[in-house]
Amino acid sequence: MKTKFDLPGIKKLLLRRPADTESLDASAAPARALFGPTPETAVAEKGSSLVDFLKQVTLFEDLGRRDLRRLARIVHERDYHDGEYIFQEGKPGATFFVLRRGLIEVVREGSSGTEVPLAMLEPPASFEESAAMGAESVRWFSARARGPVSLLTLGKSDLDALSVNFPLLANKVLMRLAGIMAIRFRMLLDAQYLKESEKPQETDQ
């Protein structure tokens, strides 16, 4: 299904609550809307070099080759093994991530203390953009590697340094980050609105 929000890494919006609502935390439904359901197949690496890969990422698709090369000089490459947490809910956040290889499971702790799976991300998904923009960001979900995972990360401090040294490039990146955050916010509102509008129907049933 093609959504009106063209965000790579999110194939389909989860606007309806799944059938097994008993096992999931109801409050997590809007959160799930920010990601997609588990993709059926893992996506392989699409670009050979870092610059080629960055070109495929929605955030950076408007950037020229020179800017991409500059960006490639400041991003950090991290590798994770199966089951390793990329970050954990409730901890401070100072970087955002772009998935380069592998799959990432997004989970959130439910009210009963159990982990609620929200989504499975595939390359070239980006997530936690707000952490790179906000001053005091706290992670509201956990991300865990499913199999070997390779990520690119960019910290708030990296973006600050970019703003000083290359303000035009930093401005482009920040504008894209803000745009993606706005889309996610709309998705969240839509999901919340639909969830609430479905409530009377569920009661009737």
CB 203 within 8 A of CB 196: no
- Is 82 near another protein (CB under 8 A)? no
- Is 35 near another protein (CB under 8 A)? no
- Is 53 near another protein (CB under 8 A)? no
- Is 73 near another protein (CB under 8 A)? yes
Residue for token pair 């706005």: 182
Q: Which of 43, 74, 174, 183 binds another protein (CB under 8 A)?
A: 74
- Is 94 near another protein (CB under 8 A)? yes
Contact set for another protein, span 161-190 (CB under 8 A): 161, 164-166, 168
Q: Which stretch in 4-12, 13-21, 82-90, 105-113 sits in contact with another protein by CB under 8 A?
A: 82-90
- Is 61 near another protein (CB under 8 A)? no
Joined tokens for residue 187 = 């998705």
Specify the residue, 17 or 156, whose C-beta has the smaller distance to another protein: 156
The values of phi and psi at residue 123, to 5°, are -65, 145
- Is 160 near another protein (CB under 8 A)? yes
Q: Which of 157, 185, 189, 196 binds another protein (CB under 8 A)?
A: 157
Q: Which stretch in 104-112, 117-125, 149-157, 174-182 sits in contact with another protein by CB under 8 A?
A: 149-157
What DSSP assignment string belongs to 63-131? --HHHHHHHHTT-EEEEE-TT-EEE-TTSEE-EEEEEEEEEEEEEEE-TTS-EEEEEEE-TT-EE-HHH
Cβ at position 155, least distance to another protein in Å = 5
The C-alpha R_g of the chain, in whole angstroms, comes to: 17
Rounded to an integer, what distance in angstroms lies between the CA atom of residue 103 and that of residue 39? 9
CA angle at 153 for the pair 34 and 61, rounded to the nearest 5°: 70
Site size for another protein (CB under 8 A): 26
Q: Which of 82, 84, 196, 202 binds another protein (CB under 8 A)?
A: 84
Q: Which of 60, 87, 96, 127 binds another protein (CB under 8 A)?
A: 87
Rounded to an integer, what distance in angstroms lies between the CA atom of residue 145 and that of residue 85? 6
Rounded to an integer, what distance in angstroms lies between the CA atom of residue 39 and that of residue 11? 8
Q: Which helix (H) or strand (E) holds 162?
A: helix 156-165
Binding site for another protein (CB under 8 A): 73-74, 76-78, 80, 84-87, 91-95, 153, 155-158, 160-161, 164-166, 168
